[in-house]
Amino acid sequence: EAGVTQSPTHLIKTRGQQVTLRCSPISGHTSVYWYQQALGLGLQFLLWYDEGEERNRGNFPPRFSGRQFPNYSSELNVNALELEDSALYLCATSLRGIHEQYFGPGTRLTVT
Amino acid sequence: AQSVAQPEDQVNVAEGNPLTVKCTYSVSGNPYLFWYVQYPNRGLQFLLKYITGDNLVKGSYGFEAEFNKSQTSFHLKKPSALVSDSALYFCAIYSSASKIIFGSGTRLSIRP
C-alpha cells in the first residue's frame, strides 16, 4: 500500500513569491494535517482538514492557507513568502477521528 | 493553556541499558497521547498511543510508555537500548480545542 506522498521534494523561491505544496493521503484516510518543521525546531501545527473542511489551524498568519479536495488530497498555499518560511513542510494523514498520523517525506522549502 | 513538554533536549544511553524519554502534558479533559520517532533522513513514524484503557501501552520496536494521570506524564521506555534506536523522539497530544501539539523533541543517542 502506498504511503503519504508529497510534492515537490525541494523548492527554492524568492521572498514575496507564492508557493503551493501538495499531499496525497493513504487510501482510506480522510484527515490531512500540515506541519512546519524549521531547522533545529520541533513541529509546528499549521492546518487540519477532514472530509473537505478545515477543522482547525495553528498560530500562523492568514497567508498560510490550504484546501482539501474530494479525493482527500490537499494543498498548502503560502503567499508573500518570507525568509523565515524556509523549513520542511510535512503532511500527515489519518483515519477520521483521533488516530495516529502517517507522515509523508516532506517538502523542503528554501526562501532566498 | 494546553501544552506538552519534553524536558530533555538530549538523552545519552549505553547500548543494552534501559532508556527513558520524558514527556509531561497539560490538557483539559481526557488526554490523547502519542509518541513519534524521526530517524535520520527518514520521515516521522508513529510509535504508540494512549487513548483509554491500560496505562501501559506497548508500541513498535520494543518501546512502551506509561500513562500517569496523577503526574500528567507519558514517558517513553525501552528495557534494552539498541544503537539503531538513536533518533529524534516527539511526544504529541490532542487538545480539547482540536489542536495537535507536539513537544520540542528529544534526541536519543545510544553509544555502543
Q: Which among A45, A100, A104 has CB closest to B43?
A: A104
Distance of CA B36 to the CA centre of its chain: 7
DSSP string, B79-96: SS--GGG-EEEEEEEE-T
Judge whether residue A38 has pLDDT over 80: yes
Residue type, A87: A
Q: Work out the pLDDT band at A1, boundaries 50, 70, 90.
A: low
Q: What number of C-beta contacts closer than 8 Å exist between A and B? A: 45
Per-residue pLDDT averaged across A7-16, rounded?
97
Q: What does the pLDDT look like over B96-105, one tens digit per residue?
A: 666 788 999 9
Query: For residue B84, which of B35, B34, B15, B21 has the smallest C-alpha distance?
Result: B15
Residue type, A100: E
Residues of A in contact with B100 (CB under 8 A): 33, 45, 48, 101
Q: What does the pLDDT look like over A49-93, one tens digit per residue?
A: 999 999 889 989 999 999 999 999 999 999 999 999 999 999 999
| Rounded Cα distance, B85 and B18, in Å | 12
CB proximity B90 to A under 8 Å: yes
Q: What does the pLDDT look like over B17-76, one tens digit per residue?
A: 999 999 999 888 788 999 999 988 788 999 999 988 889 999 999 999 999 999 999 999
